[in-house]
Amino acid sequence: MSTTETAIASAEAHSAHNYHPLPVVVASADGAWMTDVEGRRYLDMLAGYSALNFGHGNRRLIDAAKAQLERVTLTSRAFHHDRFADFCTQLAELCGMEMVLPMNTGAEAVETAVKTARKWGYRVKGVPDGMAKIIVAADNFHGRTTTIVSFSTDHEARADFGPYTPGFEIVPYGDLTALREAMTENTVAVLLEPIQGEAGVLVPPSGYLPGVRELTRERNVLFIADEIQSGLGRTGRTFACEHEGVVPDMYVLGKALGGGVVPVSAVVSSAAVLGVYRPGEHGSTFGGNPLACAVALEVVAMLRTGEYQQRAAELGDHLHQELGLLVGGGAVQAVRGRGLWAGVDIDPAQGTGREISEKLMDRRVLVKDTHGSTIRIAPPLVISKEDLDWGLEQLREVLRG
């Protein structure tokens, strides 16, 4: 057996099969490229589902992490540490908000958003105890905890994990009328992805997000934008909401916030909303730890210049222009997305998304399929135009058959 086959067989024998990875075993990576255990190089067109927006081994982020590793890595929130205030202040400023509640994973931040909205509903809005409702969209992806899968519409993500957490109402994504009709006095929040990533990079109809903003403001309901995947540069802006001129009441951030180095997530909002917490009411041992804060501070500093957003916008225009040329030629049925982020619907006659991904892997390009015949393209924002063009050429070759 090859080194690759041995590693995969061993992983399959000793790890739960909750993923179906492509048969590549990565040993190192740099920028937009990964190298496997047999020395083959692959172009990373997934970027850890946008956790690697700044590329593998980003010098600034690695240096920030190394420097912090030598000083202090963990204090717990029982004590203050000297990176915490800067991290919260600067992240809040980047978001145009006032307060930050740091956690680790995206799902934890979504859970935090849910808890915050409920508490705000009872303490500020005056919803009767136990009655708070949060409206979410069909085909959402917000994470994997028992509460979050309770409001998923994806059978695989949800089946066999009940009993489910009540208090959620599901409406079709992009449908303002359905949202208006679902709202009651007890609605405390609307939780949405401004672009639905896992669903296939679905961009809502223009006017939808401003409509949600208007409706939530009118009804004294929090608008929570899950920008874990769409935020922090991916779409060519700091936040995907910006494309529609919308400012939500709360951003939920994760993935790229940790620079692909450490898990860092956060809820960012106003003092009126995050101010509802008192000591003991919520927390996390690792949330806001010194190493996480040091890396995330560097991420925030990098985003402040706007250069990554601009790069994503320019390369994204190019990506969408090139992908657009494939639509209608038989192999590609539709392309969606914004910035350096695209969902490509392949004609099912050409094969499943998985089969296309495997063929791309044989040509040394790594992507991930989603839902049947859709593949997602989301390279690190640091990818060169030449590498992006090379990756697109491999896609054209695969589709040519």
Ligand X SMILES: *Cc1c(COP(=O)(O)O)cnc(C)c1O
Question: What does the binding site for ligand X look like in residue numbers (CB under 6 A)?
Answer: 49, 105-107, 110, 141-143, 193, 197, 226, 228-229, 254-255
**Alpha carbons 393 and 97: distance in angstroms, whole number:** 42
CB-nearer residue toward ligand X: 228 or 294:
228
Of the residues 44, 139, 226, 369, only one is catalytic, namely 226
CB-nearer residue toward ligand X: 226 or 387:
226
Of the residues 119, 125, 255, 359, only one is catalytic, namely 255
**Alpha carbons 135 and 183: distance in angstroms, whole number:** 8
Neighbouring residues of 183: CB distance < 8 A, sequence distance ≥ 6: 135, 215, 219, 221
In 183-227, the DSSP E strands lie at 187-192, 222-226
CB-nearer residue toward ligand X: 107 or 344:
107
CB-nearer residue toward ligand X: 49 or 168:
49
CB-nearer residue toward ligand X: 229 or 394:
229
Q: How far is the CB of 202 from ligand X (least distance, A)?
A: 12
The sheet carrying 33-36 orders its strands as 26-30, 33-36, 41-44, 365-366
**Alpha carbons 224 and 192: distance in angstroms, whole number:** 6
Q: How far is the CB of 14 from ligand X (least distance, A)?
A: 22
Residue nearest to ligand X (CB): 106
226 is catalytic: yes
255 is catalytic: yes
CA atoms within 13 A on the CB side of 240: 31
Q: How far is the CB of 349 from ligand X (least distance, A)?
A: 30
**Alpha carbons 108 and 137: distance in angstroms, whole number:** 19
Q: How far is the CB of 327 from ligand X (least distance, A)?
A: 25
Of the residues 54, 84, 87, 141, only one is catalytic, namely 141
Q: How far is the CB of 258 from ligand X (least distance, A)?
A: 9
Sign of the alpha-carbon torsion through 190, 196, 202, 206? positive
Residues labelled as active-site residues:
141, 226, 255
